A and B are shown apart, each in its own frame.
Chain A
Amino acid sequence: MDSIRYIAGKEPHPRERRMIFRNVDREGWDTRFATYVADGGYLELRKALAMKPAEVTAEVRTSGLRGRGGAGFPTGVKWTFIPPDNTKPVYLICNADESEPGTFKDRYILHQDPHQLLEGMAIAAYAVGARKAFIYIREEFPDAARILEEAIDEAVRENILGENILGTEFSLEIIVHRGAGAYICGEETGLIESLEGKRPYPRIKPPYFPAALGLWMCPTIVNNVETLCHVKHVIAMGGSEYAAVGTRNNSGTRILCVSGDVVKPGYYEIEVGRMTLGELIDDVCGGMRPGRALKAVIPGGSSSKVLRGDETFTIRTPDGASSGLALRDIPLDFDTLAACGSMAGSGGVIVIDDSRSISWVLNNINAFYAHESCGQCTPCREGALWMRKITDRVVEGRGTPTDIDTLLSIAGQIEGRTICAFGEACAWPTQSFIHKFRDELTGATSEDNAAKASNPEAVAQRRYLAEAAAAGSAR
């Protein structure tokens, strides 16, 4: 690793541990097969092919690898959900739809290190018994799609993909599928519908759990780009050694995408749980912008619940004791962030300073979810747009204090009542922003607005009623 040099100005921070992003911004690096192989690429695939598929899965289980797409579900466990008596073809899908606001990590792998992903996918496909795999790539990544296709062509030529890979019984075809240009295409069952050529309407679970009834109703494993890349490293290091990276139950490294009001926003690969939020912001990202104070952090992509800059969290440590934890002291892992009431999500850390108006931030998020709700199920379709319409008014100074209660109740009517997790994704920001910043939000509203008509229809209605009343009293 010491021999690796990075492009000037893009060197990793010393506190990073570059595993997945080893070759991102690397000097002299390109996406060619030869470059990858010269650097020791595809050795892990050879290693995996010498193992039994179940042994590969066992290593991944031992590694404790958790999904980097959002939910943090243990990858090895997910792979075992394929029904044991299955006789249908099994599919592997790489979720490269990366569209969670605040998340920008997969794109660097796709653009700069495609063979790492292909290797991870080939190992995963071998483990789960897939002979056909798909990379469902975000529509807005046309260059990456081309790069991947070239990489696949090269790999097929080199017998790394295709029939009888490296002389074994194992064959694998990988197909790049350009996404349909919507956030919901990243939800795994919506993605599968889209891949089948339909609108990306997520499916109900139960019964349509992808591992049993996925693509074309066949067992399907969907994993995030970063997750699949980690598989290569699990095989390289062995499950137990990988598990020692990071912290217990929060193993490995992960890429954090820091955006917002820090001096040096960007992507940073860290050992999970070995860095606190404060260290990330103040050391790695160079601190808050000059003269500004930390107001809030959205720690895992726009869907995760916001945390207040001055908050202290009471969390239970594994030995059962409670301890108070200031925001800056939160270790960046899966479990502590969950214990603090939010989540590690997709790794998108959005930092907000005291120059930002909370109603503006919330409205910005609401606008995204109102735009991206697929519209299939009632609560999310109607609720997301309604919340946006309300925060639109609040931002324009036309909100009333009861709007805040209405917002909270709308979010409550969405959460837990929808087809897919988008429902939570769009309810949690509103819920948490009101929970954490109620005073500021209420302060942006005014009782006086209650008497004012809120839209042209209401204006017309009021005029009509007034005229009718006047006509009535004249008679």
Chain B
Amino acid sequence: MPVEEALLPKDLAAAEGMVNVQINGVWHRFPKGTRLIEAIGKSGDEVPHYCYHPKLSSPGNCRMCMVEIGMPARLAPGAEPTYDDEGYLPIQWMPRPAISCATMVSENLGVRTKSTLVEEARHGVMEFLLANHPLDCPICDQAGECRLQEFAVGHGRGGSRFVEQKTKKPKNVDIGPRIRLDDERCIMCSRCIRFMDEVAMDPVLGFSERGGYTTLGVHPGRKLDHNYGLNTVDICPVGALTCNDFRFQMRVWFLKETPSIDTNCGTGINTVIWTRNDQVYRITPRENNDVNSCWMPDSHRLNFHYLHGQHRLTSSLVRDGDHHRSAPSHNAAGKVASALKSAPKGTAALVVSSRLTNEEMFLAKRLAEKCGISAIATVPREGEADDYLVAADRNPNTQGFLRIFGDQDRAATLQSLRDDVRSGKIRTLLTLQEDLLAPEAGFTQDDLEKLDFLASLHLLDNGTAAAADVVLAGSGFPENRGSMINVTGRLQRLNRAINPPGEALTNWEWLATLLRETGADVFDGEAAAFKALAASDELWQDLTLARIPDNGIQLYETGIKIPLVERERERIARGEING
């Protein structure tokens, strides 16, 4: 090969498995096999689209993502290619637009995303999508996060030429226990169908009828009742699928979004918590390709109403004879601290939930040290893994507990604590976010009555609280900030989205107060605790709480794999999805 030819951009790119693509006049380089829509995204431009979803197959049906493309002209036999000054071939633009979601980048490909051809194509698609669309925006839950609205503003013509009778379709259809369908709003992008088929592997959704009468529906005799069904609501670009739990509760533009993680199991699914005025309105999954892709089980996302329910403790309580009366926090904390401190050696114990953050656990450990408590147990919570995202370990931070307390046989430790309470050896007990009467904890009412002093830090007024001498009104997951380690060994951060109600304090605040009452130095906030913790563990030495990436960081590998994520990786490898 002549020397000059070897220096052409195409050869330089090819040597690295890349190709050169001109986007709006500027040359970029992308790995071979990149989808054009992703390449354009990386170049800093956005392509409006509906049906394309990186985690699903690409049917190319919405036609919103069309761009103008061009390729080098095909040479006549024997003709020599003519390169321009930069070493590229002249681009011959094609008269028809191409969909960018299913087109792959290729060498010397030209792309225009702003030309007349593209604008006209987008106008056309928007006009078609709106032709039979109902004017529901004022009563539609999707308003404010609706792709149809957004692109109508960005790429629509403004007026409507459609004067015919709109096609009527079923509205307010009960397609499952948690989801409602409005067929008139459906733009037939098939995302929900593909999700149920490809990810949930329960293909209950499908289209019936044809053409403009195409109607989304559930398979006869079935319901959309799969535990991952609500993901279809997330990915539906319009208000066709809405969540029964959230619909009509709040306009989305009033809501604050806090990235956080789910605490219902050891996977630590990445989430966004949507709140207003210290109230959680909904929780949605947040993309993390190492943990949960873009998905989340319904059972986890809907499990937050207890935070605002009637069992929520809003102030601390101190036993007064047969009754509990509310008490100022410092008063209640003082009572607990002095009970722990004054307990004779070997008679006090701590139950530390594996639902606590690392920082909370670290403080609990300090508290135990300060009060000379060595009996520390946690409550293992084993369920069945669901072969998607839900881990068998239903505690979100078992790994944190193991690293901080080093207890390898948690069930046995808990058993011996129960025995020691029963035998009267343990007489003082503080439980941190565990209801001891819950089946997995295994204590009985009789056990608790044997104790001289029982304190419960919890957010709910459960059976343990009823039996306790002091009840500390604690916090729930959206009120906490801190870190946890998931079942695979990944360190992730929980962010505070709301404040605890009334006089309830965060778990962190309670533990800090208790420590202070015992006369110990207290860290200045969760971040400082994390720092101290990091200093004691070589795995996280260079980290700070704030520096944990939003998608977490793999500290070590436990060997546990998340099935859904593994399947997704296989699909990416097979080229079925972009990922």
Contact = CB atoms under 8 A, between A and B. Distances in A.
- Do the two chains belong together in a single complex? yes
Interface of A: 182, 184, 199, 201, 204, 206-207, 370-379, 381-386, 389-390, 393, 406, 412-413, 416-419, 454-458
Nearest to B126: A378
Contact of B210 (A182, A379, A389, A418): A182
A386 B164 contact: yes
Contacts of B59: 201, 204, 376
Contacts of A201: 59, 61
Nearest to B124: A413
Contacts of A184: 210
B131 interface: yes
A220 B187 CA distance: 32
A392 to B, nearest CB: 8
Interface string B199-239: 00000001101111110000000000000000000000000
| CB-based closest 4 A-B pairs | A413-B124, A385-B212, A375-B214, A382-B128
B165 A383 contact: no
9 contacts: A378-B63, A378-B64, A379-B63, A379-B124, A382-B129, A385-B213, A417-B96, A417-B125, A455-B163
A182 B162 CA distance: 28
A202 to B, nearest CB: 10
Given A381-B188, A416-B95, A371 B128 contact: no
Interface residues of B, number: 42
Interface in B158-179: 161-167
Interface of B is mostly: loop
Contacts of A373: 210-212
Contact of A378 (B61, B103, B206, B210): B61
Contacts of A378: 61-64, 125, 128-129, 187-188
B463 to A, nearest CB: 54
Nearest to B101: A204
A370 B211 contact: yes
Nearest to B96: A416
A378 B188 CA distance: 8
Interface in B131-166: 131-132, 161-166
A238 to B, nearest CB: 28
Given A204-B60, A416-B96, A382 B131 contact: yes
Nearest to B66: A417
A416 B97 CA distance: 7
Interface string B97-111: 101001110000000
B166 A457 contact: yes
Contact of A375 (B131, B165, B207): B207
A100 to B, nearest CB: 17
B451 interface: no
Contacts of A419: 60-61
A184 B64 CA distance: 22
Contacts of A412: 124
Which of A199, A371, A377, A384 has the most chain B CB atoms inside 10 A of its CB? A377
Contact of A389 (B64, B124, B165, B188): B165
A389 B187 contact: no
Nearest to B128: A382
Interface in B48-98: 58-64, 66, 95-97
Contact of A413 (B99, B103, B127, B211): B127
A382 B210 contact: no
A384 B121 CA distance: 16
B41 to A, nearest CB: 20
A385 B211 contact: yes
A379 B127 CA distance: 9
Contacts of B63: 377-379, 417-418
B14 to A, nearest CB: 20
Nearest to B208: A199
A15 B129 CA distance: 51
A196 to B, nearest CB: 13
A374 B211 contact: yes
A204 B165 contact: no
Nearest to B64: A378
Given A370-B212, A375-B210, A454 B163 contact: yes
A109 B83 CA distance: 55
Given A204-B58, A373-B212, A377-B63, A382 B132 contact: yes
A412 B128 CA distance: 12
Given A376-B61, A418-B63, 18 more contacts: A201-B61, A370-B211, A372-B211, A373-B210, A375-B213, A378-B187, A379-B63, A381-B211, A382-B128, A382-B212, A386-B131, A389-B165, A413-B127, A417-B121, A417-B124, A419-B60, A454-B163, A455-B165
A32 B286 CA distance: 66
Contacts of A182: 210
B186 to A, nearest CB: 11
Nearest to A370: B211
Nearest to A453: B163
Contacts of B210: 182, 184, 371-375
Contact of A381 (B120, B123, B214): B214
A415 to B, nearest CB: 8
Contacts of A384: 211-212
Contacts of A457: 165-166
Contact of A385 (B129, B161, B167, B206): B167
Contacts of B164: 386, 389-390, 393, 454-455
Contacts of B95: 416
A375 B188 contact: yes
Nearest to A369: B211
A363 to B, nearest CB: 14
B449 to A, nearest CB: 64
A208 B206 CA distance: 22
A206 B100 CA distance: 11
Nearest to A412: B124
A372 B210 CA distance: 7
Contact of A204 (B102, B120, B161, B206): B102
A368 to B, nearest CB: 11
A269 B128 CA distance: 42
Contacts of B99: 204
Nearest to A389: B164
A393 B123 CA distance: 25
A458 B163 CA distance: 8
A270 to B, nearest CB: 34
Contacts of A379: 63, 124-125, 128
B434 to A, nearest CB: 51
Contacts of B121: 413, 417
Nearest to B62: A378
A201 B209 CA distance: 12
A389 B121 CA distance: 22
Which of A384, A416, A454 has the most chain B CB atoms inside 10 A of its CB? A416
Which of B102, B124, B125, B210 has the most chain A CB atoms inside 10 A of its CB? B210
B211 to A, nearest CB: 4
Contacts of B125: 378-379, 413, 417
Nearest to B95: A416
A406 B506 CA distance: 63
A378 B120 CA distance: 15
B212 A381 contact: yes
A406 B207 CA distance: 29
A379 B103 CA distance: 19
Contacts of A376: 59, 61, 188
Nearest to B164: A389
A375 B163 contact: no
B337 to A, nearest CB: 67
Nearest to B121: A417
B103 A206 contact: yes
Nearest to B102: A204
Interface string B232-256: 0000000000000000000000000
B391 to A, nearest CB: 34
B162 A386 contact: yes
B558 to A, nearest CB: 36
Contacts of B66: 417
Contacts of A385: 132, 167, 211-213
